[in-house]
């Protein structure tokens, strides 16, 4: 029975999604609780995988299991199998997705109450969870791609959930400011299209790999690397590897495809928490981790140029981490800060996975485990942050932090949760984020010997630590401390008082915050667990090069990391404390006085002008060009062509008219004559050849 | 097989039953659909194909109908669409006159399409090819909108001019090979040079490309699709134009395999396919009339279909079949939804529509699914279509099947095609957003879902698109082995 759990863990949520419309007919309450129930069943099944496959926990499952792998489609020599791959990585990811998903479903019961389109909401939420779990458990690239597209579709539907785009909701349901303010339906479309660009590259990579390997299966791809060599002979191996990276860069919102995620905040807070923090955006990290062993072993079996893949991953991650963090510093919208921060933190995970490719031995295992540990800890604290932000914006009826302020006593549970989440995000010891971020930084230091690029990567990563602490404290200060904003005072005069969210909402995010604390306390133990879980499956990789295996952490590296991160925390934290917690510095006035700072603020608020550049380069010209081409080619060109043909026919007709009487005959003779000529011509050609 | 073609024609002539004519048409077409469905499921156990052959004339040869792995999926889709759209017509055309004539022509048109697909004698093929042209010309000219006579004339002239090239090619082949039978031509062409074969195939393809509206022969299509009565648009675009793709597979791969060894000729076709894909998509972005947008989208989709046809691999050909099915289902859904707008809201301008998702939930869901299958998103049938099509081309490019030597140009062209497939998602989702999301304009505040006779066929097609997407084996089981066999017979022929 237990061997069915990998299948059931995604089938249950999808079944729940399909039943939602039917259950809605019975009673709306039945529908709501059933939806949560089905995701709960899925989560329970995900948990049972630990019992069904105890080897996974012990890290003995290096070979992976294929419970019930079935043939799905066979076309002209191409065989597509549907099977589940159970290994430490997939079980971990499935449980993160299913359990955080469940808590967010519970939160939704309160948060989304009274929405007229709840059937659609539950349908896509459950469909999303099902597809996400399918994605991480799939044993081959194609099945993974199907789940991948499924979560993309759900995110499109959920970001644009409030698709009416009504101007009255501008303060709560839209996103962005000024020229870059977008309604929800625009954001949903933008997310889908941007990630689709990455997905298309991924698809090309899948084709290329399959054309030489004849299999989609991860384990078979790793087992026999002949395909990599024959791709390399054609000069297609590096393109294939980089195209494959396109998918993760899009889905995980890394540069250059990060611009959709900040705007995805137009969706409900629960959606942001589930999709744009805890699960879907991690799919890219998961895929990189999944193909890591494949490319790594190919690199060490005579294809050293593949290091480009790992360099690309590391640089994309480090640059994104830094760029997104700078944007988070100035954003005025609470959820958007967390969105930038999500992008930035995923950058850390990518960095660690890229760096792992530079390393060998225990250092490799440590880097790999650090990336995944950060993934788990980030999923927990970022879900807390988003869910509590949802409560706060809901209570204040605004998405702007300028409209909040002084909420600490009014919303104590939300305050506590967000405070813990923010400190964990900033990497303040001893919370979970501290351990996971330290692990990543240490790995980058270890790579100093292996690569001259590592110090640059380290600088970016270290700077980001300071920025992260700064913006985390800024949010807590602006929202919960200080005096009430003008917006809130006006609302109170009208008799609208801010109060704490109902328990159905705060229990989930407080629980997540407490788990974050617990993980922080148990981190050293958990890290050991992570290492022992991953090292057996990675040890074959780690010792590919034999003698020169690297130590996990050198003492010098430990000190360097401790020193820089303390320094950066101080650099980020002290100004933030004076400006936003103690309230002694008036940052606003200060920025106003200095034009260069003002320019910097605008530059960051406008998102480094990347978003705008994309619209200017890709969207607007495409629309303009199609409009112009349509007018010139289809309309005027055709008109001229038609009139030319018409006048030609008329001339011909009037000439023939002199010798013939009937119109039909003119045509018939012309047609027959032409036809005969053509046939004679073709036959002549045929006999000649 | 024979009853299909003939009963339809016979009933069309006798179908003067007033308003019940629609139901009669539905009954006939449902019968053929059932028959073809039965054949589809039995095909493997019957040894790959079902043949019905009758002597026709000494010069013309036998009149043969064949249902095999290639023709059956096409014929089944045509028949199913025709049956469902007949129901839709009953409601859509309720205020029109001369309905019995409409349905008689409708049946004739459907029979013409099915006949074109099932017949193997090229002379008979040409007759059916004309048979689907003439009724559709009349249907557009009489029941269409706008400058309908002029547009119908343009449609007729373009297709007819193409058809003459087709006829020239067919007759030339008869002279050289001594037979009209598509399966026998290849043997008779052995002593003919590749250059001549290329010339003949070019003439035939020219005729087919007009039908498929391949760039730059596409100009009749936007007009005809936009101004035809919507049920006919929903048959023209999904069912009829793709038949050109079917015929290209059938005629070129079966009768003139030596042409496929001509690398430059094939590459030219590949490039033509990609240009059509991109051009159609770009034009779709510029449209405000929803039916015109769908028409340009059809041009783009025909590019995909042609791309599959010239992929030179069984995988790619299977992809082409699935793209035909996907486009058939998806585009029929979309045209029928456009028809609901015209019928109930009296507008077809995207600018005048908006925020309809809450008011027309079934149409909104079906439209989204329709566009998703066109853009090749799983779990819809279109995903497999695009996946196999592009995959097939890449395998040919890397020399995977051993049909040709590795060809990097093909890989890069395929890459360009795949990248531009994002454009389908672009115009599709943008249209969904403009029509269904956002605020509702004042005149549409009272908008309601279309009548049940109109929504039911749409939902049936949407469900079929999803079911086939999850379990495409129903089609691939039949199509893929046949096409593999076709291709395996091809390799030696191409070497010559």
**Per residue of chain B (496 residues), what is the pLDDT tens digit?**
444 554 555 555 544 555 677 787 787 788 888 888 888 888 766 666 777 777 777 677 777 888 888 888 898 899 899 889 988 988 888 877 777 778 878 888 888 888 888 888 888 888 888 888 888 888 888 888 888 888 888 888 888 888 888 998 888 888 888 888 888 887 777 777 888 888 888 999 998 998 888 887 888 888 888 888 888 988 888 888 889 899 999 888 888 888 887 788 888 899 999 999 998 888 888 888 899 999 999 999 999 999 999 888 888 899 999 999 999 999 999 999 999 998 888 888 888 888 888 888 889 889 999 999 998 888 889 899 998 899 888 888 877 655 567 778 888 888 888 888 888 888 888 888 888 887 788 778 778 888 888 899 999 999 999 999 888 888 888 888 888 888 876 655 554 3
Contact A75 B192 (CB under 8 A): no
Among candidate residues A418, A414, A397, the one with its CA nearest the CA of residue A473: A418
CA distance, residue B376 to nearest chain A CA (Å): 10
Interface test with B, best of A75, A159, A680 (most B CBs within 10 A): A75
CB of B476 within 8 Å of a chain A CB? The answer is yes
* HSE (side-chain half, CA atoms, 13 Å) at A435: 24
Q: Do B438 and A234 touch (CB under 8 A)?
A: no
Which secondary-structure segment (H or E) carries B67?
strand B61-68
Helices marked H in A405-502 — which ranges?
Answer: 412-426, 432-446, 454-480, 486-493
Residue B479 to residue B169: CA distance in whole angstroms: 27
A504/A509 Cα distance (integer angstroms): 10
Q: Single out the residue of A105, A116, A195 nearest to residue A155, CA to CA.
A: A195
Q: Quick check: B20 contacting A, CB < 8 Å?
A: no
| Residue A140 three-state SS | strand
Q: Is residue B440 part of a domain?
A: yes
* Among chain B residues, CA nearest to A150: B378
Q: What's chain B's Rg over C-alpha atoms?
A: 21
Q: What is the pLDDT of residues A405-415, one digit of tens each?
A: 888 888 899 99
Tell me whether B474 touches chain A (CB under 8 Å): no
pLDDT at A130: 93
DSSP code of residue A502: P
- What residue spans define the domains of chain A? 160-605
CB contact under 8 A, A675 and B167: yes
Chain A interface mutation, best of B190, B323, B350, B415, highest count of A Cβ atoms under 10 Å: B415
Q: Name the percent of chain A lying above pLDDT 90.
A: 23
Q: Do B22 and B42 contact (CB within 8 A), yes or no? A: no
The answer on pLDDT for A552 being more than 70 is: no
More confident residue, A66 or A39: A39
Residue of B375, B240, B200 lying closest to B301 (CA atoms): B375
Task: Please tell me the distance from the alpha carbon of residue A271 to that of residue B72, in angstroms, as a whole number.
Answer: 45
Coil, helix or strand at residue B146: coil
Mean pLDDT, to the nearest integer, of A65-94?
79
pLDDT (0 to 100) of residue A655: 67
B196 domain residue, yes or no? no
The more confidently predicted of residues A550 and A402 is A402
Beta-carbon pairs below 8 A across chains A and B: 181
- Give the pLDDT of residue A547: 46
- State the sign of the Cα–Cα–Cα–Cα dihedral A103, A109, A112, A115: positive
Estimate to the nearest angstrom the gap between the alpha carbon of A674 and the chain centroid: 62
SS3 of B97, please? coil
- Which of A220-224, A273-277, A309-313 has the largest mean confidence? A309-313
What was the pLDDT predicted at B322? Answer: 93
Closest CA–CA distance from residue A236 to any residue of chain B (Å)? 9
Cβ-defined contact of A630 to B426 (cutoff 8 Å): no
pLDDT category of residue A579 using cuts at 50, 70 and 90:
confident
Would you call A626 and B283 a contact, using CB atoms and an 8 Å cutoff? yes
Q: What is the largest CA-CA distance in chain A?
A: 105
Find out whether the peptide bond into A293 is cis, omega within 30 degrees of 0: no
Contact in structure between A204 and A295 (CB atoms under 8 Å):
no
pLDDT on residue A686: 56
Asked if residues A8 and A1 have their Cβ atoms less than 8 Å apart, the reply is: no
Q: Which residue has the higher pLDDT, A52 or B123?
A: B123
Q: For position B462, what pLDDT does the model report?
A: 92
Contact B394, B411 (CB under 8 A): yes
Q: What is the pLDDT of residues B193-228, one digit of tens each?
A: 888 888 888 999 998 998 888 887 888 888 888 888
Distance CA A282, CA A295 (A): 20
What are the tens digits of pLDDT across the range A111-165?
888 888 888 899 999 999 999 999 999 888 989 999 999 999 898 888 888 887 7
Contacts of A37 (CB under 8 A, 6+ apart): A16
Contact between chains at A193 and B391 (C-beta distance less than 8 A): no
pLDDT number for residue A286: 94
A164 contacts B358? CB cut-off 8 A: yes
- Which residues of chain B does A688 touch, with a Cβ-Cβ cutoff of 8 Å? 193, 196
Separation in Å, CA A357 to CA A88, A89, A106, A557? 19, 17, 39, 18
In whole angstroms, give the CA distance from residue A98 to residue A137: 12
- How confident is the model at residue B12, as a pLDDT? 52
Q: Is residue B12 part of a domain?
A: no
Answer yes or no: do A193 and B394 touch at CB < 8 A.
Answer: no
* pLDDT band, residue A353 (cuts 50/70/90): very high
Would you say residue B78 lies in a domain?
A: no
3-state helix, strand, coil in chain A (%, to 5): 80, 5, 20
Mean pLDDT estimate for chain A: 84
Look at residue B126 and tell me if it is in a domain. no
pLDDT digits (tens, 9 = 90+) for A363-374: 888 888 899 999
Angle at B313 between CA B311 and CA B316, to 5 degrees: 60
The CA distance from B15 to B98, in Å, is 12
Give CA–CA dist B177/B255, Å, rounded: 10
- Rounded to the nearest angstrom, the minimum Cα separation between A679 and chain B is 6
Name B279's Cβ contacts closer than 8 Å, sequence gap at least 6: B215, B299, B300, B303
Task: List, in sequence order, every residue forming a beta bridge with A333; answer none if it has no partner.
Answer: A400
Question: Which residue range is the domain that position B373 belongs to?
Answer: 262-496
Asked, for residue B344, whether it belongs to a domain, the answer is yes
* Mean pLDDT across A645-670: 64
Of the partner residues A75, A188, A678, the one whose CB lies closest to the CB of residue B388: A75
Q: Which of B213, B282, B325, B445 to mutate to test the interface with A (most CBs of A within 10 A)?
A: B282
pLDDT for A628: 79
Residue range A545-571: mean pLDDT, rounded: 75
Question: What whole-number distance in Å separates Cα of residue A225 and Cα of residue A212?
Answer: 10
Q: A131 to chain B nearest CA, in Å?
A: 11
Nearest CA in chain A to B354: A164
pLDDT at residue A542 in the model? 67
Residue numbers in B near A618 (CB within 8 A): none
Task: Measure B334 CA to nearest chain A CA, in Å.
Answer: 19
The answer to whether position B45 is within a domain reads no
Q: Into how many domains does chain B fold?
A: 1
CB-based burial label for A665 (10 Å; 0-12, 13-18, 19+)? exposed
Interface test with A, best of B188, B198, B285 (most A CBs within 10 A): B285
Binning pLDDT at 50, 70 and 90, where does residue A469 land?
Answer: very high
- Name every chain B residue with its beta carbon within 8 A of the beta carbon of A155: none
Q: Which of residues 230-289 of B touch A (CB under 8 A)?
A: 282-287
Residue A658 has pLDDT above 80, yes or no: no
Closest Cα of chain A to B294: distance in Å?
Answer: 15
pLDDT at position B1 is 47
Residues 6+ apart with CB under 8 A from A479: A334, A392, A401, A404, A405, A407, A418
- Of B318, B357, B439, Cβ closest to residue A75: B318
A674 min Cα distance to partner chain B (Å): 9
Task: Reply yes or no on whether the pLDDT at A329 is more than 70.
Answer: yes
Burial class from Cβ neighbours inside 10 Å (0-12, 13-18, 19+) for residue B45 reads: exposed
Which of B280, B451, B287 lies closest to B353 in space, CA to CA? B287
pLDDT of residue B258: 81
CB B283 to CB A685 under 8 A?
Answer: no
Please tell me the distance in Å from A163's CA to the nearest CA on chain B: 5
Nearest chain A alpha carbon to B315:
A76
**Residue-level pLDDT at A258:** 86
Which chain B residues touch A183 with a CB distance below 8 Å?
A: 438
Contacts of B181 (CB under 8 A, 6+ apart): B61, B62, B64, B120, B121, B122
Distance from CA of A277 to the nearest CA of B (A): 24
* pLDDT for position A533: 79
pLDDT given for residue A288 in this prediction? 94
- How many whole angstroms separate alpha carbon B214 and alpha carbon B442? 40
């Amino acid at each position: 029975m237990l061997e069915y759990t990998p299948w059931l863990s995604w089938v249950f949520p999808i079944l729940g999604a399909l039943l939602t419309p039917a259950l809605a007919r019975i009673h709306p309450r039945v529908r709501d609780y059933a939806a949560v129930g089905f995701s709960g069943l899925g989560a329970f099944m995900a948990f049972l995988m630990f019992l069904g496959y105890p080897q996974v926990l012990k890290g003995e499952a290096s070979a992976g299991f294929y419970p019930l792998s079935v043939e799905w489609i066979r076309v002209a020599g191409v065989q597509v199998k549907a099977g589940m791959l159970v290994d430490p990585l997939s079980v971990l990811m499935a449980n993160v997705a299913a359990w955080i998903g469940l808590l967010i479903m519970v939160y939704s019961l309160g948060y989304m109450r009274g929405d007229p389109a709840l059937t659609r909401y539950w349908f896509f939420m459950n469909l999303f969870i099902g597809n996400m779990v399918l994605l991480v458990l799939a044993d081959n690239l194609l099945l993974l791609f199907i789940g991948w597209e499924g979560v993309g579709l759900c995110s499109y539907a959920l970001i644009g959930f409030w698709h009416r785009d009504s101007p009255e909701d501008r303060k709560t349901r839209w996103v962005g400011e000024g020229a870059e303010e977008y309604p929800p339906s625009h954001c949903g479309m933008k997310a889908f299209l941007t990630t689709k660009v990455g997905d298309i590259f991924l698809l090309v990579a899948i084709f290329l790999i399959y054309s030489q390997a004849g299999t989609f299966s991860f384990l078979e791809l790793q087992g026999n690397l002949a395909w990599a060599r024959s791709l390399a002979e054609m000069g297609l191996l590096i393109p294939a590897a980089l195209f494959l990276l396109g998918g993760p860069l899009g889905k995980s919102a890394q540069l250059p495809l990060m611009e959709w995620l900040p705007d995805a905040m137009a969706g409900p807070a629960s959606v942001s928490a589930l999709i744009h923090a805890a699960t879907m955006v991690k799919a890219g990290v998961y895929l990189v981790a999944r193909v890591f062993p494949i490319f790594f072993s190919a690199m060490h079996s005579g294809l050293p140029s593949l290091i480009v893949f790992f360099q690309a991953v590391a640089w994309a991650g480090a640059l994104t981490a830094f760029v997104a963090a700078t944007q988070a510093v100035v954003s005025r919208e609470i959820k958007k800060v967390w969105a930038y921060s999500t992008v930035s933190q995923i950058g850390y995970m990518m960095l660690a996975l890229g760096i792992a490719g530079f390393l060998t031995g225990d250092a490799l295992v440590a880097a790999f485990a650090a990336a995944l540990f950060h993934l788990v800890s980030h999923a927990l604290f970022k879900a807390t942050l988003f869910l509590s932000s949802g409560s706060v914006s809901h209570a204040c009826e605004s998405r702007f932090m300028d409209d909040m302020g002084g909420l600490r006593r009014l919303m104590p549970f939300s305050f506590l949760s967000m405070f813990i989440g923010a400190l964990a995000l900033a990497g303040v010891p001893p919370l979970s984020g501290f351990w996971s971020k330290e692990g990543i930084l240490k790995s980058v230091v270890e790579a100093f010997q292996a690569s001259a690029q590592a110090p640059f990567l380290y600088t970016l990563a270290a700077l980001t630590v300071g920025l992260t602490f700064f913006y985390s404290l800024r949010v807590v200060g602006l929202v919960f401390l200080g005096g009430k904003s003008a917006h809130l005072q006006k609302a109170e005069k009208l008799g609208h008082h801010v109060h704490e969210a109902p328990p159905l909402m705060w229990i989930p995010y407080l629980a997540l915050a407490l788990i974050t604390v617990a993980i922080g306390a148990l981190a050293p133990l958990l890290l050991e667990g992570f290492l022992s879980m991953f090292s057996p499956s990675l040890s074959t990789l780690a010792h590919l090069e034999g003698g020169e295996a690297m130590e996990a952490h050198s003492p010098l590296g430990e000190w360097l990391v401790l020193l820089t991160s303390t320094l950066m925390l101080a650099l980020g934290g002290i100004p933030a404390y004076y400006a936003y917690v103690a309230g002694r510095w008036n940052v606003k006035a200060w920025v106003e006085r200095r034009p260069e700072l003002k320019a910097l603020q605008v530059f960051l608020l406008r998102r480094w002008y990347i978003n705008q550049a994309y619209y200017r380069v890709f969207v607007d010209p495409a629309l303009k060009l199609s409009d112009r081409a349509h007018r010139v080619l289809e309309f005027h060109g055709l008109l001229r062509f038609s009139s030319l043909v018409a006048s030609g026919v008329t001339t011909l007709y009037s000439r023939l008219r002199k010798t013939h009487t009937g119109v039909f005959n003119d045509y018939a003779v012309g047609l027959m004559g032409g036809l005969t000529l053509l046939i004679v011509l073709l036959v002549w050609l045929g006999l000649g050849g | 097989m024979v009853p299909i073609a003939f009963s339809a024609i016979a009933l069309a002539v006798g179908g003067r039953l007033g308003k019940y004519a629609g139901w009669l048409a539905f009954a006939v077409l449902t019968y053929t659909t059932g028959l073809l469905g039965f054949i589809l499921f039995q095909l493997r156990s019957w040894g790959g194909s079902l043949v019905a052959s009758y002597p026709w004339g000494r010069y013309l040869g036998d009149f043969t109908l064949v249902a095999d792995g290639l023709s059956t999926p096409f014929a089944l889709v045509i028949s199913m669409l025709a049956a469902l759209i007949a129901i839709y017509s009953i409601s859509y055309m309720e205020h029109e006159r001369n309905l019995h004539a409409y349905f008689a022509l409708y049946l004739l048109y459907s029979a013409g399409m099915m006949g074109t697909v099932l017949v193997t004698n090229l002379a008979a093929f040409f007759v059916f090819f004309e048979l689907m042209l003439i009724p559709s010309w009349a249907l557009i000219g009489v029941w269409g909108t706008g400058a309908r006579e002029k547009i119908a004339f343009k449609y007729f002239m373009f297709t007819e001019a193409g058809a003459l090239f087709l006829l020239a090619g067919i007759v030339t082949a008869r002279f050289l090979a001594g037979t009209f039978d598509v399966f026998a031509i290849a043997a008779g062409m052995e002593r003919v040079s590749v250059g001549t074969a290329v010339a003949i195939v070019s003439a035939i393809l020219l005729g087919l490309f007009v039908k498929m509206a391949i760039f730059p022969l596409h100009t009749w299509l936007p007009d005809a699709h936009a101004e035809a009565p919507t049920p006919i648009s929903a048959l023209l675009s999904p069912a009829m134009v793709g038949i050109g793709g079917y015929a290209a597979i059938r005629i070129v791969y079966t009768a003139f395999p030596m042409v496929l060894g001509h690398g430059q000729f094939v590459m030219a076709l590949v490039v033509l396919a990609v240009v059509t894909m991109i051009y159609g998509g770009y034009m779709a972005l510029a449209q405000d009339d929803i039916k015109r947008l769908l028409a340009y989208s059809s041009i783009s989709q025909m590019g995909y279909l042609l791309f599959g046809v010239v992929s030179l691999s069984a995988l790619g050909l299977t992809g082409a079949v699935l793209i035909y099915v996907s486009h058939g289902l998806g585009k029929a859904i979309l045209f029928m939804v456009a028809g609901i707008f015209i019928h109930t809201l009296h507008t077809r301008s995207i600018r005048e529509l908006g925020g309809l998702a809450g008011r027309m939930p079934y149409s909104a869901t079906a439209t989204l699914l329709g566009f998703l299958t066109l853009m090749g998103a799983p779990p819809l049938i279109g995903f497999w279509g695009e996946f196999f099509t592009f995959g097939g081309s890449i395998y040919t490019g890397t020399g995977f099947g051993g049909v040709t030597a590795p060809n990097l140009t093909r890989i890069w062209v395929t890459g360009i095609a795949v990248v531009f497939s994002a454009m389908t998602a672009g115009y599709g989702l943008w249209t969904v957003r403009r029509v269904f999301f956002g605020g509702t304009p004042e005149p549409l505040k009272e908008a309601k879902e279309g009548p049940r006779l109109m929504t039911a066929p749409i939902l049936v097609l949407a469900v079929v698109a999803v079911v086939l997407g999850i379990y495409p084996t129903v089609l691939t089981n039949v199509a893929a082995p046949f096409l593999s066999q076709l291709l395996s017979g091809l390799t030696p022929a191409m070497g010559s």
